Amino acid sequence: MTALPDWMRPPRAEGWFAEDLDHLPEAPRHTELIDGALVFMMSPQRSWHGRLVTSLTTALMATAPSGLEVEREMTIRLDERNRPEPDLLVTTAPYDPERTWYAPEDVRLVVEVVSPESAHRDRTVKLHKYAEAKIPHYWCIEDEDGAPVVHVYELDEPTGAYAPAGIFRGALQRPVPFEIAVDLDKLTPQRGGSE
């Protein structure tokens, strides 16, 4: 059995806390904290995932109104034991080059692009945690034979849970959190070809 590097050992008996992520320079990129446990993205990222996140970030940045920022791969400090890192988010917080996380009350939309290793977390764990934190909008994007399919959820205030608001193929049009129109078919090249 291989010994754990020192940086992987929790700093206290209770485990990891949200602020600990800012003091782990040895941790791999995209390290998250879920229920006090460090979660690493250990598999190589697929090109489809990277292209989709980049293209969607660019599309949302081009249409986001003043007062909203689009951020990619930044953590949200949901509470002292949870700091997930969505693929992208839309926030009311102003740009700060030193920022390492966002508060949930400043986040209007969270987007997760499902990968085989993150499927359970994206479809269930994060769906529940983002709703508990009262983030109003959640998109979970699946790969359907190379085409993105967006599962849209809106927070139902009375229940505090997400309610499905649609499944989008080919094009996505939403009036919230701002007027959004995205040609989903143009977010990634077709398999075996280029754009």
* pLDDT tens digits, one per residue of 76-128: 999 999 999 999 999 999 999 999 999 999 999 999 999 988 899 999 999 99
Interatomic CA distance for residues 173 and 90, integer angstroms: 16
- CA distances for 169 relative to 82, 116, 143, 146, 149, angstroms: 31, 20, 11, 12, 5
Phi, psi of 125 (to 5 degrees): -60, -55
Residue 115, classified by CB atoms within 10 Å of its CB into exposed (0-12), middle (13-18) or buried (19+), is: middle
The pLDDT of residue 192: 58
Cα–Cα distance for residue pair 180/185, rounded to 1 Å: 15
- How far is residue 147's CA from residue 125's CA, in Å, rounded to a whole number? 24
Mean pLDDT of 165-190: 95
DSSP element (H, E) containing 126? helix 126-132
List C-alpha distances in Å: 104 to 13, 30, 132. Answer: 27, 18, 10
Name the 3-class secondary structure at 82: strand
Q: Which domains does the chain have, with CATH numbers?
A: 13-186 (3.90.1570.10)
User: Residue 98 contacts by C-beta under 8 Å, 6 or more apart in sequence?
Assistant: none
Residues shown for the chain: 195
Side chain identity at residue 115, one-letter code: S
pTM of the predicted model as reported, rounded to 2 decimal places: 0.88
Where are any strands of DSSP class E within the chain?
32-34, 37-39, 69-72, 75-76, 88-91, 101-102, 107-113, 137-144, 147-156, 161-169, 171-174, 180-183
The average pLDDT across 68-72 equals 97
Q: Express each pLDDT in 8-61 by its tens digit.
A: 777 777 888 999 988 888 888 888 889 998 888 656 678 999 999 999 999 999
